[in-house]
């Protein structure tokens, strides 16, 4: 029995390796795109940080272009790119498509 179960496990592992990427919801490129999008989002939020104004002192830097235009725009584009990274479908070459049809 032990020998038979090892043989079945070996067959299962081989079948998993041969499984096509078409059946998987997310593949390696999706995770790479999502990681890049997350980095852009974090960068956008970091660009929005800075010293605040207090009751005793006004800090005009709170109205800087970096904090009210560049940072939010980068964060917004990062969120858009995250959606694109999740929905991205890799192209299937003709040779891989033909192998799946056989």
pLDDT, tens digit, for every residue of 58-92?
Answer: 989 889 999 999 999 999 999 999 999 999 988 87
The pTM (predicted TM-score) of the whole model is 0.68
User: What is d(CA 4, CA 78) in angstroms, rounded to the nearest whole number?
Assistant: 51
- CB-based contacts of 70: which residues, under 8 Å, 6+ apart? 47
- CB-based contacts of 100: which residues, under 8 Å, 6+ apart? 20, 22
User: What is d(CA 42, CA 86) in angstroms, rounded to the nearest whole number?
Assistant: 18
What pLDDT does residue 87 have? Answer: 93
Give the pLDDT band of residue 14 (cuts 50, 70, 90). low
What pLDDT does residue 33 have? Answer: 96
Question: What SS3 class is residue 55?
Answer: coil
Of the candidates 50, 33, 43, the residue with the CA atom closest to the CA atom of residue 70:
43
User: What is d(CA 2, CA 33) in angstroms, rounded to the nearest whole number?
Assistant: 43
What pLDDT does residue 66 have? Answer: 94
Q: Is the pLDDT of residue 36 over 90?
A: yes
**Mean pLDDT, the chain, whole residue set:** 81
Q: Is the pLDDT of residue 9 over 70?
A: no
């Amino acid at each position: 029995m032990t020998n038979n179960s090892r043989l079945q496990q070996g067959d299962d592992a081989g079948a998993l390796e041969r499984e096509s990427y078409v059946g998987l919801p997310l593949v390696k490129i999706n995770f790479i795109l999502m990681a890049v999008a997350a980095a852009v989002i974090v960068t956008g939020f970091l660009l929005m940080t800075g010293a605040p104004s207090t009751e005793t002192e006004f800090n005009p830097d709170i109205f800087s272009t970096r904090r009210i235009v560049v940072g939010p725009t980068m964060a917004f584009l990062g969120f858009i790119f995250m959606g694109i990274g999740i929905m991205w479908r890799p192209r299937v070459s003709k040779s891989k498509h033909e192998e799946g049809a056989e």
